[in-house]
Structure 1
Amino acid sequence: MRDDTRRWTEADKRHCWHPFTPQAAWTAGEPLVIVRGEGAWLWDSEGRKYLDGNSSIWTNIHGHRHPALDEAVRRQLGDVAHTSYLGFANPRASELAEKLCAFFPAGTLERVFFSDDGSTAIESAMKMAIQFRQLTGEAGRDGFIAFDQAYHGDTLGAASLGGVSRFHDRFRKHGAEVTFVAGMDALKDLPGEVAAKAAAVVIEPLIQGVNEMRPWPAGMLRELRQWCDATGVQLILDEVMTGFGRTGRMFACHHEDVIPDYLCLAKGLTGGYLPMAAMLTTGRIYDAFLGDDSRAFYYGHSYTANPLGCAVALASLGVFETEQTLERLQPMIARMAERLARLKAGHPRVHEIRQCGFVAGIEIRQADGTPFPAAEHFGARVCTAARDHGLLTRPIRDTIVLMPPLCTGPDELDHAVSALDHALATT
């Protein structure tokens, strides 16, 4: 181990606290220290090279050190790194809001509320939905409907929408009032008084991420929009993971031509460069907040509409156009399906492949189809073994996530699947 690696890991173990990480196990191990990236690749402090198989926790879009994105940050630094958005505007935020709204038909999603991350995008949508009801004479509609095994973030309001017990149960009583349903049939069977009391329903469109990458049935999102229209329940779409090309379209809701009341974006918004979020909503909702001070939306963050984040987000949207990212992605989506089908055919422990666009979950079970005992952490062991073959990714329980940057080429995708192949064979 190099001296600098040892120094960094020792300082980490003494002082750092990692998210979603049992710290006792972490401090007993030898963590990788990532020091450099380029394209779809990352290097650790020991000089080893890995494909970024989960896009640095689902954020990176066009690859690391993309020249256009790097230049956008440098150019903005030449002007100013940050200015307040409370009482002031800035050019990049104005341009970015205009670009985001242009992805949707005129007169639909036409207002953008910026914040810091996916959790705060959801939080702002929840608060806005509640206040909208108060301002329009429906103060009793303050509940929410969410789906079993959903994940929408970890701030207290967003966490209350989460259906994953190990993440959210200990905080359940401190959040919003939420009714959970398994799917559309259960939603339609809810007592009328539940829908009548609900401000909004929240969903990850097309595919649930933390629920081991489980896609929704085709047409479900359109059916949900129709149910909302019939009941007066507003629709919040959590596209924190699915936005910006992951599903093969710019946004997942484009697949079924659905316009939500609130659209929450983060992760890939800046191409994976800087923390930033945006929540889009309609002119009708915005207009309800107009008037005297008592109607204002008193919610925000110090780094709202940070100029650096807005600049690199604009550059990322530009790369989608100049590099024809979505067009180039289509054959890669097909290649991923073909390569993962071959992986499943070659390994009896690959129980199921779940894919939506350029996002895949590879569920591992015992050869007889039963799950591995949780204490074995089999998925984590496979991912650790994959490092020896040049792939970094993380499991969700025993489902291995494969979600590389959209810039990943055919040979790089083959490398990722081959690494999983070797890891499965040796674990």
Structure 2
Amino acid sequence: MSLTADDSRFVWHPFTPMQAYASEAAPVIVAGEGFDLIDESGQRYLDGVSSLWCNVHGHRVPEIDRAISGQLDRIAHSTLLGLGSDASIELARQLVERTPGGSGPRLLFGQRFDSCRSGTENCLAVPASVRNGRRGTGPVRWPLGSLPRRHDRIGQPGPDRSVSFGLRAVAV
């Protein structure tokens, strides 16, 4: 069978009307280079959504590929649930040192909170961080209309377009 046939038979694509998808013969991507995606026939497409925001520097960037390979040579993954890791500690140190004053908050690492497919630890990270952030201060209450303006969001500018509505409640 071809990749296209196997794609329609075995893969459910999120946010995709599958009947229409199966009849369209959508390209099957087999490689990426720079900002291009390459299908099985060699046709190139501009990756205008950075492979859904996960790849803003392009595909196969040598410096990034070397860093990933170097990490994989040591360990692919280790949880931060009760354990530390050299890579997360070094990244947190560098990010905190870059905050104004160089003594910013501790960092919470996790995957995008709207993609809790790879484990409940990511789904639980936001409520846990809110509890830890409020520990010792009691409940946080502001009179209606007097919420402080926040300017410390780290990420892409513009509105949050994630698919998780429940976690937006803590993004005040």
TM-score w.r.t. the length of structure 1 is: 0.31
1:112 to 1:7, Cα distance in 2 relative to 1, 3 A: same
Runs of at least 5 residues in structure 1 that lack an aligned partner in the other structure: 1-5, 142-191, 197-226, 230-234, 253-263, 265-427
> Among 77, 100, 115, which residue is 1:82 paired with?
77
User: Aligned-pair RMSD on alpha carbons?
Assistant: 3.2
Distance in 1, matches of 2:36 and 2:6, equals 25
Structure 2 residue aligned with 1:58: 53
Distance in 2, matches of 1:58 and 1:194, equals 35
Matched, 1:228 2:121: no
Deviations 1:305-347 (A, max 9, x none): xxxxxxxxxxxxxxxxxxxxxxxxxxxxxxxxxxxxxxxxxxx
Matches within 5 A, 1:202-217: none
Runs of at least 5 residues in structure 2 that lack an aligned partner in the other structure: 117-121, 161-172
Deviations 1:21-74 (A, max 9, x none): 122222222121111111112210111012222222223222211111111122
Matches within 5 A, 1:24-423: 24-106=19-101, 109-119=104-114, 124-129=125-130, 132-133=133-134, 135-138=136-139, 141=141, 194=144, 227-228=147-148, 235=150, 239-240=154-155, 242=156
Deviation at 1:87, TM superposition (A): 2.6
CA contact (8 A) 1:125 1:236 kept: no
> 3-state DSSP class of the match of 1:124?
helix
Structure 2 residue aligned with 1:298: none
Structure 2 residue aligned with 1:281: none
1:9 to 1:89, Cα distance in 2 relative to 1, 3 A: same
Deviation at 1:135, TM superposition (A): 4.3
CA contact (8 A) 2:97 2:103 kept: no
Distance in 2, matches of 1:134 and 1:104, equals 23
Deviation at 1:193, TM superposition (A): 5.1
Structure 1 residue aligned with 2:11: 16
Deviation at 1:97, TM superposition (A): 0.7
Distance in 2, matches of 1:109 and 1:122, equals 24
Higher relative contact order (CA 8 A, sep 6+): 1
Distance in 2, matches of 1:125 and 1:194, equals 23
Distance in 2, matches of 1:122 and 1:53, equals 28
The residue type equivalent to 1:48 in the other structure is Q
TM-score w.r.t. the length of structure 2 is: 0.71
Distance in 2, matches of 1:83 and 1:53, equals 32
The residue type equivalent to 1:28 in the other structure is S
Structure 2 residue aligned with 1:160: none
CA contact (8 A) 2:113 2:123 kept: yes
1:91 to 1:108, Cα distance in 2 relative to 1, 3 A: closer
The residue type equivalent to 1:129 in the other structure is V
> 3-state DSSP class of the match of 1:115?
coil
Deviations 1:357-379 (A, max 9, x none): xxxxxxxxxxxxxxxxxxxxxxx
> 3-state DSSP class of the match of 1:9?
helix
> 3-state DSSP class of the match of 1:43?
strand
Distance in 2, matches of 1:133 and 1:80, equals 33
Q: Provide the identity percentage.
A: 34
Deviations 1:97-145 (A, max 9, x none): 1122233112663211111224267963455335644742227x5xxxx
> 3-state DSSP class of the match of 1:17?
coil
The residue type equivalent to 1:228 in the other structure is P
1:237 to 1:9, Cα distance in 2 relative to 1, 3 A: farther
Deviation at 1:81, TM superposition (A): 1.7
CA contact (8 A) 2:96 2:102 kept: no
1:93 to 1:21, Cα distance in 2 relative to 1, 3 A: same
Distance in 2, matches of 1:19 and 1:130, equals 32
Distance in 2, matches of 1:97 and 1:15, equals 39
Distance in 2, matches of 1:29 and 1:236, equals 44
